Amino acid sequence: MLQSNEVEEAIKRILSHKGVVGLVVINHEGIPIKSTMENALSVQYAAQVTQLLDKSRSMIKELDSNNDLTFIRLRTKKHEVLVCPEKDYAMIVIQNPTES
């Protein structure tokens, strides 16, 4: 399918960035739809990030109801978790920025 190809290409492009460890696409229920990591890990990420998303989104909404969450960057010791939420899906990218 055309769209599918586009999606695949987008994923490839993201993965081609330096230090990108993995990518998970989850739906609004927190179920991983597409993942480049092993299943258990992606399920973990999906579950945890969904909670975080809900919480942070509600926080933003509470502060300003006209505002909305568009991106979360979590910097950790080992890597950086980038979460890009949209209405129905969210994309999680794990990047190791110091990797060279």
Partner 1 sequence: MSSNETSSDKPEEDKQKKTDSSSEGAGSKPVDTPAGDDVGEEEEEMSEGMEGEEMDEEEDPNIPPSGLQSSDPPAPPRMSQEVPMCRRRRRKIKVKSIALGSYDEGGEEEDDEEEGEGEDEDEEETLELVAAPEIIAEEVYEAMEDLTYAQEYNEYCGEYEDGEYIPCLKPGDEEEGGRRSIDKTDADGDDDWDYYYAPCDPAIDGDEGDDDEDEDEEDDDATRIARELEAAERAIAEAQAEEEGEMFEEEEEDEEEEDEDEEDEEEDIFPQEDDELKTLFMGKMEQEPEVETLANIEGVIGLTLTPETKQFFEIDEEEMFQTGHHVHKWLSWKKVKLHIFMNEDRSEFFPYYDTIKYYPDVTMLLGSDPRKETGHDYFICLTVEARNNVLNPPKKKKVALDLKQQQEQIWNEMASKAPRKWRGYGSELEVNDENVIDSRPLLSVQVYRYRQHFGSECKFEDAPKDSPSFKASFKSEPVEQYPCIQTVEVDRAVQVMPQKKETSTQTGFCFKRNKMIQYNTQSITENNVANIMGSKKIAKFFKKVTPRLDKVLQQNEMVDLLHDDYRNLKCKRGHEMEFSTESMLLQEYQTYADFKHSKGRTVTTMMFHPVLEDVVVMATAVDLTWERRIDAHSKSLMEPNYVLFWDLRDSAHPQIMLDAPADVFSVNVNPSDPHLVCGGCANGQIAFWDLGRTYFELRAKIQDRGNLSAADAKTKRPSFLDKLKDSAESLACPLIPIAGLSNLDMSHKRAVSSVSWIPPHIEIGKNGMVYDNLIGRSVQFMSVAGDGTLRLWDIRPQKKPGQAEEDDEDLNKDVIKVNKWAHLENNQWKYHFRYSMEDNSGGPMFATTIRICEKRPEGKDPKEEVPAIQKSSIDDDSNENPEALDDPKPVAPKPKRVGALVQNLSALTTIFIGTEAGAIGLVDWLRNKEGVISPDFGNKIITNVYLSTFHHGAITSITKSPFYPELLLVVGGGTISIWKETCPYPIFCSGGFDVFPWCAIWSNSRPAVFYVGNREGSVSIWDLMDRSNGPVMTQPITNVRITGIGIPKIAASASKNQYLAVTDSDGVVLVLLLPRFYARPLPNEDHVVRELMNREDSRMTAWVKEMEERSDKIQSVNYSWQQSRVTKTPEETNREEIEQEGRLNEEYQHFVEFEMSIIGDLKEGEPELPTMDTQISDEFDAMILDAQRLEAEEEGEEEDDDSPDDDYDDYNAFDDDDDDDYDQFRYK
Based on DSSP, count helices (H) and strands (E) in the chain, helices before strands: 2, 5
Ranges of beta strands (E only) in the chain are: 20-27, 32-35, 72-75, 80-85, 89-95
Distance CA 71, CA 86 (A): 9
Longest dimension (CA), the chain: 42
Using CB under 8 A, which residues numbered 10 to 29 contact partner 1? 10-11, 13-14, 17-20, 25, 27, 29
Using CB under 8 A, which residues numbered 34 to 53 contact partner 1? 34, 43, 47
Q: Closer to partner 1 at the Cβ: 18 or 62?
A: 18
| Binding of residue 91 to partner 1 (CB under 8 A) | yes
CA Rg, the chain, in Å? 14
Q: Closer to partner 1 at the Cβ: 30 or 56?
A: 30
| Binding of residue 62 to partner 1 (CB under 8 A) | no
The residue within the footprint of partner 1, chosen from 62, 64, 66, 88 (CB under 8 A), is: 88
**At closest approach, how far in Å is the CB of 36 from partner 1?**
13
